[in-house]
Amino acid sequence: MIYLDNSSTTRQADEVTALMSEVAREDFGNPSSLHRLGLSAQNRVTLARKQVAKALGATPEEICFNSCGTEGDSTVISGVAESRRHRGNKIITSAVEHPAVLEACARLEHKGFEVVRIPVDGECRIDMERYEAELDERTVLVSVMTVNNETGAVMPVRRMAEAAHAKKILFHTDAVQALGKIPLAGIGADFITVSGHKIHGPKGTGALYIRKGTHLPPLLPGGGQEKNMRSGTENVPGIAGLGEACRLLERESTEKMAAARMYLLEGIREQIPDIRVNSPKDGAASVLNISFLGTRGEVLLHTLEEDEIYVSTGSACSSNKKGRSHVLSAMGLSPKEIEGAIRFSFSRYNTVEEMDVVLGRLTAAVNRFRRLGSFR
Amino acid sequence: MNEKNIFIVRCGEVALKGMNKPYFEKTLAERIRRNLKDYDGVEVKRHEGLIFVRSPKELNSEEIIRQVSRVFGVSSISPAVEAPSDLDAIGETAVEFMKQQIRERGIRTFKVEAKRADKTFPVKSPEIARIIGASVLIGCKVLKVDVHEPDCKLFVDLRRDRTYLYDEKIQGFGGLPLGTNGKGLVLLSGGIDSPVAAWMMAKRGMVIEALHFHSYPYTSPRAQQKVEELAGIVASYCGRMKIHVINLLPIQEQIVQNCPEEETTILVRRFMMRIGERIARRSGCMMLITGENLGQVASQTAEALVVTDACVQMPVMRPLIAMDKVDIMDKAMEIGTYEKSIEPYEDCCTVFLPKHPTTKPRLAQIEASEALLDVEGLVDAAVKSEEIVRIDVG
């Protein structure tokens, strides 16, 4: 199997699985319990909090565990809207955010907020001029992702955060696709969303960084866990797994990923004509998005699947919907270009050797489709 | 009162079957028993042209009614109470029954209708109704008679040994018991029409097998998953089902490369029929069933249907042929397949769609195009590649 759909989800690292089953077996206590079992469970959570904090360049007190990226995004967007309503009703985001952000903003729009979605160009670069012009005294929050999930484009989050802070505006970034791919320390955001399953950690785990001194109302009221930010008994094995996944990131660089990606890109450029590379040159090492003109991405996907090569068309979250990728649309791609788009997304487990296999199968699949299509 | 809940099940058309009547009734009782097999202590018995279901009090009546009313051949079902066939006893039971209706439904007016199946009983039907009505008026002071629009119409069904009282008739689907009318092979696409077609033939007693074509990798594996789930819904009416699954892509590729574009659909359609006939013969199905509907799409014009039929010997049943699309959709909603059918995975019919399909194909022209292909070889290979999926009641 060659798994190139790591932006959808990743294979859980064996170390993570081993640790989680150990925690589930041995330290099954409730961290809130006063007895020894409670304490040992709490220690697991404390260790994980340090590990996640380190990966984000934060202090442990700034980390709140939750269930996923979507929860983190929603907590911040609805929370800031609620707590800063008296200051203004405008939220700035980008046109290429994950649905978790776009839909949370759309919901606020129905409640009377003004939502500005900053456009991007054909290489998924955000329009900074427009962005800076939109920052005004009515704006309460900016939410822009660190790395785009479909193209791998890296957004200038640090500069954007500085510009927002100059106007006393809070800044959130969804860094689900960025963790482990680009450094997050010093990125300057007030809130950072991350998720476990994109970094070989467990599904159903996530963390939210909340800058010290920033107030945010909780999404769920309840027993007061996570300093009252996220009530509900802690998912101790999941949290431990998330911490372990962050620890494992330390020993890895993105070089292997980048090498596999570059090898595949060059091979495609040599062997397959009529393509459009949708990922920017300076994008993250984890994503390569290419349109094979005159083909249908989904057919290529199923053809590759027959050889146990797994890729994706657009983002997994929208592949079931009839609509075309909103990200590629926002970049101005034509319907034909969008229809032929494939996303290859990499992890530390991919190798250059695998890319030779992918190249061969992919070239055959594209040729087969184009040959059939040429009869029409 | 009785220890068990009683349900009177009427068999409708089965009763018209003359010499075959016992066979149909027996099969129907068997089908009802099968639908109730997961419920302990339920009895299903035939008696005087009716079927009586008795279930322990603790079982939910709604559940029993739902399971029985979906059996093909059942025209209606009534939850009932019973009494000895004696006017005093019937009167007492009627009072009890009506008191319950007052408590549960707050009825204030009623009317009695009586039927004397036992003609030797000395009192005639209108008189029975009058006597029981009088007992109810005495026993339930709040009730008044209203012969035009009563809140509750009490039926008294007087038979030789027992008398049954009930006030509602829940309609079943009618039709004939499954297994009394041979076996057919339905071409099941995953759209709205074909599951309805299969259901309608099953309703007339036909056992169903299904044939599904896909074009993987041009279609998604989820499309097949969807067809299996649809078949599960159909199977909930007509029992476990076998789906023959065949990849049509090799044939579609040949057609696209060798034949005129505008004929693609009709050519593919004829291959489906040929393969269908071969599979049907092999699995003991005596006819093909399709969801085709006159004029709905290019392959379903009168001319196209004639050309399609010309390639097979076996009769092709098209139960939806003269229905309007909205009526087919209503039926799909009624039987519960609609929501599943409209899930948006491509089925193989939408792949390789020509821009301007021919709507008035001529047989000679189509046969000329097929002469460019190795028809027998392609059909053989397709039949050999068949995979079988068994669908349990969903």
A64 flagged as catalytic? no
Residues in chain A within 8 Å Cβ distance of B219:
302
Token pair belonging to A267: 């091979």
- Tell me the CATH class for A14-250: alpha beta
Q: Which of A68, A105, A124, A317 is labelled catalytic?
A: A317
The answer to whether A315 and A338 have CB atoms below 8 angstroms apart is: no
B177, part of any domain = no
Amino acid B130: pLDDT: 95
CB contacts, 8 Å: B221 with chain A: 302
A372–B256 C-beta distance less than 8 A: yes
Residue of chain B whose Cα is closest to the Cα of A376 = B261
Q: What is the CATH classification number for the domain harbouring B13?
A: 3.30.2130.30
Residue A249: count other Cβ atoms within 10 Å of its Cβ.
Answer: 21
Q: What is the DSSP letter of A5?
A: B
Tokens of B166: 């009930």
Contact yes or no for A375 and B257 at CB 8 A: yes
Residue B12 and residue B158 in one domain: yes
Instruction: Please tell me the predicted confidence (pLDDT) of residue B12.
Output: 77
CA angle (B139 as vertex; B136, B142 as ends), nearest 5 = 85
Indicate if B116 and B218 belong to the same structural domain.
Answer: no
Q: What is the Cα–Cα distance from A140 to A138, expressed in whole angstroms?
A: 6
- Tell me what ipTM this predicted complex has: 0.75
Burial A265-285 (b: 16+ CB within 10 A, else e): bebbeeebeebbbbbbeebbb
pLDDT at B13 (0 to 100): 72
B166 and B241 both lie in a single domain: no
Q: State the residue range of the domain holding B163.
A: 4-171
Q: In Å, how far are A280, A283, B115 from A286, measured between CA atoms?
A: 12, 8, 80
Task: Give the single-character DSSP code of A309.
Answer: E
Measure Cα distances from B155 to B64, B79, B85, B163 in Å.
21, 11, 14, 10
CB contact under 8 A, A322 and B344: yes
3-class secondary structure for A233-253? CCCHHHHHHHHHHHHHHHCCC
Q: Is residue B108 part of a domain?
A: yes
Residues of B in contact with A298 (CB under 8 A): 220
Residues of B in contact with A372 (CB under 8 A): 253, 256-257
How many C-beta atoms surround the C-beta of residue B93 within 10 A? 22
Contact B34, B240 (CB under 8 A): no
Classify A79 as helix, strand or coil.
helix
Three-class SS state of A228: coil
CA distance B299 to chain A (A): 19
How far off is chain B from A34, nearest CA to CA, in Å?
A: 46
Judged by CB atoms closer than 8 Å, whether chains meet at A302 and B256 is answered as no
Tens digits of residue pLDDT in A249-292: 988 889 999 999 999 999 999 999 999 999 999 999 999 999 99
**Is residue B348 a contact partner of residue B218, using CB atoms and an 8 Å limit?**
yes
The answer on B338 and B311 residing in a single domain is: yes
Which residue of A298, A299, A376 is in closest CB contact with B261? Answer: A376
Task: Specify binding-site residues of B.
Answer: 187-188, 212-213, 269, 291, 300
For chain A, the structural domain boundaries read 2-9+253-373, 14-250
Q: Are A103 and A93 in contact (CB under 8 A)?
A: no
Check residue A268 and give its pLDDT.
Answer: 98
* Secondary structure E strands in B150-238: 152-158, 162-166, 170-171, 183-187, 207-214
User: SS in 3 state form for A277-290?
Assistant: ECCCCCCCCCEEEE
| Integer angstrom CA distances of residue A64 from A101, A209, B335 | 19, 6, 48
- Residue-level pLDDT at B350: 62
pLDDT score of B17? 64
pLDDT value for B16: 66
Residues B373 and B249 in one domain: yes
Q: Is the same domain home to B144 and B254?
A: no
Asked if the C-beta of A342 comes within 8 angstroms of chain B's C-beta atoms, the answer is no
Classify domain A2-9+253-373 at the CATH topology level: Aspartate Aminotransferase, domain 1 (3.90.1150)
Q: Would you call A306 and B217 a contact, using CB atoms and an 8 Å cutoff?
A: yes
pLDDT at B355: 82
Of the partner residues B217, B218, B261, the one whose CB lies closest to the CB of residue A305: B217
Residue with tokens 């494992």: A248
pLDDT at B349 (0 to 100): 57
Final residue in a domain of this structure, among B142, B171, B200: B171
Q: What is the widest separation between alpha-carbon atoms in chain B?
A: 87
Task: Look at residues B171, B198, B232 and tell me which one is the last residue of a structural domain.
Answer: B171
Test mutation, A311, A320, A322, A342, chain B, max B CBs within 10 A: A320
Substitution target in B214, B216, B226, B262 with the highest count of A β-carbons within 10 Å is B216
pLDDT value of residue A318: 38
- CA torsion sign for A326, A330, A335, A340 is negative
Per-residue CA distances from A223 to A67, A218, B191 (Å): 16, 12, 49
Q: Which residues of B56-82 are buried (b: 16+ CB within 10 A; e: fewer)?
A: eeebeeeebbebbbbbbbbbbbbbbbb
A contacts of B217 (beta carbons < 8 Å): 299, 301-303, 305-306
In a domain? residue B30? yes
User: Do B236 and B295 reside in the same domain of the chain?
Assistant: yes
Residues B318 and B190 in one domain: yes
Beta-carbon count within 10 A of B234 CB: 27
Find tokens 């089908």 and name the residue: B31
**Partners of residue B244 on adjacent β-strands:** B211, B388
- How many structural domains does chain B have? 2
Is-contact B227 B212, C-beta < 8 A?
yes
Measured between its terminal Cα atoms, the distance across chain A in Å is 34
Whether chain B has a CB inside 8 Å of the CB on A270: the answer is no
Query: DSSP assignment of B20-56, as one string?
Result: GHHHHHHHHHHHHHHHTTTSTT-EEEEETTEEEEEEE
- What pLDDT score was predicted for residue A170? 97
Which residues of chain B carry a pLDDT beneath 70?
1-3, 14-17, 346-351, 394
A308 vs B: CB within 8 A: no
Q: Is residue B335 part of a domain?
A: yes
Give the closest of B217, B221, B253 to A299, CB-based: B217
Note the pLDDT of residue B353: 80
pLDDT of residue B239: 87
> Of B116, B150, B171, which residue sits at a domain end?
B171
Phi, psi of B111 (to 5 degrees): -155, 145
| Interface contact flag, A372 B253, Cβ < 8 Å | yes
Of A302, A322, A375, nearest to B256 by CB-CB distance is A375
Q: Which parts of chain A have pLDDT scores under 50?
A: 315-321, 376
Could you tell me how many CB contacts below 8 A there are between chain A and chain B? 23
